[in-house]
Chain A
Amino acid sequence: ETVLTVHYPMPGFFKDVMDTISKKFMEENPGIKITFANPSATYEEGIQTIMRQAGTAEMPDITFIGLNRLRMVNERDIPVDLGPFIAKDGNMAEQGFSENILKLAQVNGKQVGLAFATSNPIMYYNADLVRKAGGNPENPPKTWDEVIALGGKIKALGDGVEGIDFRWQGDDWMFSALLFGAGGRMLNEDETKVAFNGPEGRKAIEVLDRMVKEGGLPVLTKQAGEQAFVAGKVGFAFQTTGALRNTIKNVGGKFDLRTAHIPLIDTVNGKLPTGGNAVVILTRDAEKQEAAWKFAKFAAGPYGASVVVPGTGYVPNNELAAKSPEYLANFYKENPLFQAGLEQMPRMIPWYAFPGTNGVKVTQAIVENLSRVVEQSATPEEALDDAAAEVESLLPRS
């Protein structure tokens, strides 16, 4: 019997999912036993744990790593290259792993993991407030201009009601949503120069600035924003589909919660970043690797997706799962709130990870400059230029 130790982050979110998947997996694979290591509270802490444990006896066999951190982990040569396994299998597409989906967990062409739970940014809105402000909830705004205008009206309702909550804090994901949605990119093709301060970037950050100025976007911490929204005090919330299940639970019957596509600045070429995580194999033991590969495919496969999606709000990362009535087809029919994310799937591209050792710091630099815009302590141009300069200095010199 092979025993696999599995480590995962955010147990509040993933515990039930992991328990269900591993139970089913062990039923199907009697020779393999799954045990769980102590989970980590966040993706960041998960990575720290893995980094510390890399190469030690404590290192788990399998872990789940945020998509934007794969590059950093790979630089430290921690994940096992899955290329050979894929080659050996030969029929990944048949199992629902399209090329597009495999790409989400590739770094410089190396397959470091399999995307497990993926998300994209969507628009949540409070239909009651929209209605009150004169909007039509059945026909939600399609462009940022419309969002900002309606947000302003909602804010004007008073009583502590805010127009928009945009989750700009923590990391650069939602900025990416604006930037990619405008058709922009973070760095240039060969990753030597900053590219987000181009015209697309300017449009993106101006949208943020206008949300603050006209759309009723207050300065809130991430948690405060979520709480205000579920309390019915915010008109629009822009954040990951991953939060959908929890949002539904938190809202309960307090108001009419709806979801819709996130507006794109460039409706033609606009893309959206992919959030979520990938299952990564760490064990260097060949026998365990075999078992781990089985588990990775199982977790990232259609069954896994059919567990993850309803439980969280993530979008399926497996094409079989989404389409097959065996898995999720019926679910989407019955739960229209989940559809926005699903429909945006074609626009998903990898969440960009910066090269070099300062990768994480770069995202912090961007977030800090965003906060200056939100606090209106800098003009969008200043903030964008500062961010560009700072990021530039943090990129590897070569």
Chain B
Amino acid sequence: MTAHRISLGRVLRFTLLSLGALIFLAPYIFMISTAGKAQSEIFSSSLSLIPEQWSYVENFTKALSRVSMTTLLLNGVIVCALIFTVQVLVAVPCAYAMAKLKFRAARFMMVLVMLGLLVPIHATALPLYVAFDRLAVLNSYTALVAPFSISVFGIFLFLQFFRAIPDDLIHAARLDGMSEAGIVARVVVPNAWPAITAFAIFSVVAHWNDLFWPLVVVTNQDYATPPLGLLYFRAAEAGDDYGALMAATLIITLPLIAAFLIAQKRFVEGITMTGLKG
């Protein structure tokens, strides 16, 4: 009897989850379908997901040839990697100092961090742009990376995680003769991988997809990031080239999905351990 009830519950649960998944996936289904349609087929009165004439090759060719996808993707990787590396390098020692050292400014830092969480880049874009121009660093990786070199979210996340690292471990390291910097590099970082993975997902997702800031500071196409590439498929005045747009979107989204799939187990684990949840 219990067995029966359990299986009924499971069926219900599975059905619900699957239905939800279908709804969440719907836009992607249409995206994939559209990426395979000829332009004249995309908007029609009859809904059909499967293209009448398969134009995947055509659309993907367009997506790849119209813009230099390799440059875009490479720039995306470089920029995201740089941002992520610098963010970690900056945030980890700071979070360590706040979590584990007698640091009188820790409270003040906490306020700064909270404030930082609230300020969107849209708000500060203009002063930053002017400053970057004065320094003649527009159109460079520096301009793309610098404003994100400090991630208050990262500090926040690592802080939560480090608080859970036992004090004894730090003490043992001190007794073993490590300097504080040594402790960060040799003890804290090697044990913070779950948190770093979780942060990596947040950081990379945000900056891979960021359109706003690259648009502001990059005019030279050599430094264009993937979302900038999508512009080439948009023609506001006359309707977009949807097939190619979707194909291009797929191309630049796939690396992220792959990254998430690889990291996702550690990701949830990392968030659990960071106590980010509260």
Chain A residues packing against B (C-beta within 8 Å): 7, 10-13, 15, 36-43, 45, 49, 52-53, 56-58, 60, 160, 223, 226-228, 230-233, 240, 242-243, 245-247, 249-254, 312-313
Contacts and interface: CB of A to CB of B under 8 A. Distances in A.
- List 7 A-B pairs, minimum CB-CB distance, nearest first: A252-B40, A12-B235, A13-B235, A243-B238, A37-B219, A231-B43, A246-B238
Contact of A38 (B39, B42, B218, B237): B218
Contacts of B231: 11-12, 39-41
B236 interface: yes
B45 A58 contact: no
B40 A253 contact: yes
B221 A223 contact: no
B219 A10 contact: no
Contacts of B238: 10, 13, 240, 242-243, 245-247, 312-313
B125 to A, nearest CB: 10
B87 interface: no
A15 B239 contact: no
A42 B236 CA distance: 6
Contacts of B44: 231-232, 254
A40 B224 CA distance: 12
Contacts of A250: 39-40, 42-43, 239
Contacts of A226: 239
A226 B240 CA distance: 10
A252 B221 contact: no
B237 A10 contact: yes
Interface stretch (B19-27, B111-119, B133-141, B264-272): B133-141
B28 to A, nearest CB: 19
B241 interface: yes
B258 to A, nearest CB: 27
Contact of A58 (B38, B39, B139, B228): B139
A246 B239 contact: yes
B40 A247 contact: no
A39 B139 CA distance: 14
Contacts of B220: 37-38
A45 B218 CA distance: 13
Nearest to B39: A249
B135 to A, nearest CB: 11
Contacts of A242: 237-238
Interface residues of B, number: 34
A61 to B, nearest CB: 12
Contacts of B236: 10, 12, 41-43
A221 to B, nearest CB: 12
Contacts of B126: 52
Interface of B: 38-45, 66, 126, 129, 133, 136, 138-139, 215-216, 218-221, 224, 228, 231-241
B212 to A, nearest CB: 11
Contact of A233 (B39, B40, B45, B233): B45
Given A15-B66, A37-B219, A52-B216, A10 B224 contact: no
A246 B238 CA distance: 6
B221 A36 contact: yes
A223 B139 CA distance: 33
A6 B135 CA distance: 23
Nearest to A312: B238
Given A7-B219, A10-B234, A53-B219, A38 B224 contact: yes
A12 B45 contact: no
22 contacts: A11-B235, A12-B232, A12-B233, A12-B240, A12-B241, A13-B235, A13-B238, A36-B221, A38-B218, A43-B236, A43-B237, A53-B219, A58-B133, A160-B45, A226-B239, A227-B43, A227-B239, A232-B44, A246-B235, A246-B239, A246-B241, A247-B238
A13 B240 CA distance: 8
Contacts of A240: 237-238
A230 B37 CA distance: 15
Contacts of B219: 7, 37-38, 49, 53, 58, 60
B240 A231 contact: no
> Which residue among B66, B138, B216, B237 has the maximum number of chain A CB atoms within 10 Å of its CB?
B237
Contacts of B235: 10-13, 246
A335 B218 CA distance: 40
A56 B139 CA distance: 12
A12 B221 contact: no
B239 A223 contact: yes
B39 A37 contact: no
Nearest to B217: A58
A252 B51 CA distance: 14
Contacts of B233: 12
A9 B221 CA distance: 14
Nearest to A7: B219
Nearest to B45: A231
Contacts of A37: 219-221
Contacts of B224: 38
B234 A12 contact: yes
Contacts of B43: 227-228, 230-231, 250
Contacts of A36: 221
A53 B237 CA distance: 24
Nearest to B211: A41
Given A37-B220, A38-B215, 11 more contacts: A10-B238, A12-B235, A12-B240, A38-B224, A41-B234, A52-B129, A52-B216, A57-B136, A226-B239, A247-B238, A250-B39
A38 B77 CA distance: 19
A38 to B, nearest CB: 5
Nearest to A252: B40
A58 to B, nearest CB: 5
Contacts of B40: 230, 249-254
A63 to B, nearest CB: 11
B38 A252 contact: yes
